[in-house]
Amino acid sequence: MKAAILGATGYTGMILLRLLSEHPEIDEIIAVSSSRAGKSIKEIDPGVYTAVKNKTKLTGGELLSVAEAAEMQPEVTFAALPHLESAKICAPFFEKSVVIDLSADFRIKDPLIFEKAYGQPPERQDLLNKAVYGLCEIYHDEIKTANLISNPGCYPTATMLPLIPVLKEFGVDGKIVVNALSGVSGAGKKAVFNNLFVERTENCGAYAPAKSHRHQPEIKKELDIALKSAGRNGDVNLFFTPHLVPLKRGMEITTIIDIPEETASRLSDEALDKLYTKYYEDSSFVAWDSGRLPQTRDVWGSNSCRIGWKIEGRSLMLFSVIDNLVKGASGQAVQNMNIRFGFKETAGLRVYGEL
């Protein structure tokens, strides 16, 4: 199958290039760059270039322009582009190729909520309702027939995989507090003063606390859907605070949720083990363990999310880790492609981390 990667020179684009290079169902990769079309792929990834150039996977070995890529009619197009740019740059591919968008451009259906978070209305409001939210383990059936898949953010993925089953099963009493730690690659490759080595090494801190981060509405929207789908009333009151830590990649999320009195008597280690088995038994990428708190190293380089927890009376603490560039972005995008095209769901993806 022929796949295009738009934004191939960015962090998630480069990971896609590597994952697709080893994917058994991908014969041809069209690596696309808005700023460096015509340059050799060798310049951005000499390793991949050397490893796969003789297998003719890399079309011509050069980065192509968006127009050249559209003419080649890829069956699947990955958009690893900044939000607000992505929906514009993808225009020639909509309806002609299955588009898997890693940006936020199709994640929020309500244009006003999107505008509040991203400062501008969504570029393609006409397509918002056609886009399926690509949180693979939750929207598996919808993804199978989607022609536009909106890949979730890394913070939302790691927050929601442990939380959605809990919300549906037990409900919530009061606010949900989420503290998230992220490696610096989560901010992308662009040069930003705050992400310089000297600013970030031996240093960490919170940013955009409580309700001011762009991912807060994306997470809240999905948690509200989960609550309602389980027949529970009310909106989620979500306090989400990200922290930047001196890691290249990796993400750890700690969530605190109080369980309502009516359902708290059912809360136990055994009940949570059964709950995650019910939701994720068929998933190769979600693993849980009541006795051990997960660490980012467990999942580094893999498409997995590992979950742990601690119960204190009616309060439940959930701990989850992912690699922000893999399950949080490019790996989940490949998983979405695998589901959409009926490939083995684990094709081209690792299920365990590297030391």
Ligand X SMILES: NC(=O)c1ccc[n+]([C@@H]2O[C@H](COP(=O)([O-])OP(=O)(O)OC[C@H]3O[C@@H](n4cnc5c(N)ncnc54)[C@H](OP(=O)(O)O)[C@@H]3O)[C@@H](O)[C@H]2O)c1
Does 122 interact with ligand X (rule: CB under 6 A)? no
Does 244 interact with ligand X (rule: CB under 6 A)? no
Burial class (CB in 10 A: 0-12, 13-18, 19+), 319: buried
Does 348 interact with ligand X (rule: CB under 6 A)? no
Does 82 interact with ligand X (rule: CB under 6 A)? yes
Q: Given the complex with ligand X, which of 5 and 52 has the nearer CB atom?
A: 5
Which residue from 329, 334, 337, 339 is in contact with ligand X, where contact means CB under 6 A? 329
**Region binding ligand X by CB under 6 A among candidate stretches 82-90, 129-137, 165-173, 239-247:** 82-90
Does 297 interact with ligand X (rule: CB under 6 A)? no
Q: Given the complex with ligand X, which of 58 and 102 has the nearer CB atom?
A: 102
Q: Which residues contact 63 (CB under 8 A, 6 or more apart)?
A: 8, 9, 31, 32, 33, 36, 37, 38, 39, 40, 41, 44
Cβ atoms 15, 326 nearer than 8 A:
yes
* H-assigned helices in the chain: 11-21, 41-44, 46-52, 66-71, 86-89, 111-118, 140-143, 154-170, 197-200, 215-229, 261-264, 269-280, 331-340
Residue from 83, 80, 91 nearest 33 by CA: 80
Q: How far is the CB of 191 from ligand X (least distance, A)?
A: 10
Q: Given the complex with ligand X, which of 181 and 227 has the nearer CB atom?
A: 181
| Degrees to nearest 5, angle at CA 16 with 12 and 18 | 120
d(Cα 298, Cα 174) in Å, to the nearest integer? Answer: 32
Which residue type is seen at 105?
D
Q: Given the complex with ligand X, which of 7 and 348 has the nearer CB atom?
A: 7
Dihedral over alpha carbons 5, 35, 60, 66 (to 10 degrees): 50
**Interaction residues for ligand X, span 162-201 (CB under 6 A):** 185-186, 188-190
The arrangement of strands across the sheet holding 98-101 comes to 28-32, 2-6, 76-79, 98-101, 148-150, 132-133
Does 9 interact with ligand X (rule: CB under 6 A)? yes
Which residue from 159, 324, 335, 338 is in contact with ligand X, where contact means CB under 6 A? 324
Q: Which residue is nearest to ligand X (CB)?
A: 10
Does 20 interact with ligand X (rule: CB under 6 A)? no
Q: How far is the CB of 230 from ligand X (least distance, A)?
A: 27
Cβ atoms 348, 23 nearer than 8 A:
yes
Does 242 interact with ligand X (rule: CB under 6 A)? no
Which residue from 3, 4, 5, 7 is in contact with ligand X, where contact means CB under 6 A? 7
d(Cα 138, Cα 122) in Å, to the nearest integer? Answer: 24
Q: Given the complex with ligand X, which of 164 and 184 has the nearer CB atom?
A: 184
Q: Given the complex with ligand X, which of 108 and 267 has the nearer CB atom?
A: 108
Which residue from 28, 62, 85, 273 is in contact with ligand X, where contact means CB under 6 A? 85
Does 134 interact with ligand X (rule: CB under 6 A)? no
**Interaction residues for ligand X, span 146-165 (CB under 6 A):** 153-154
Residues that are catalytic: 154
Does 81 interact with ligand X (rule: CB under 6 A)? yes
| String of DSSP letters for 26-53 | --EEEEE-SS-TTSBHHHH-HHHHHHHG
Does 328 interact with ligand X (rule: CB under 6 A)? yes
Q: How far is the CB of 312 from ligand X (least distance, A)?
A: 32
**What is the number of other CB atoms lying within 10 angstroms of the CB of residue 339?**
20
**Region binding ligand X by CB under 6 A among candidate stretches 20-28, 76-84, 121-129, 199-207:** 76-84
d(Cα 47, Cα 320) in Å, to the nearest integer? Answer: 31
Backbone phi and psi for residue 185, each to the nearest 5 degrees, phi listed first: -65, -15
Which residue from 52, 80, 253, 318 is in contact with ligand X, where contact means CB under 6 A? 80
Which residues of this protein are in contact with ligand X, per CB under 6 A?
Answer: 7-13, 33-36, 80-83, 85, 102-103, 153-154, 185-186, 188-190, 324-325, 328-329
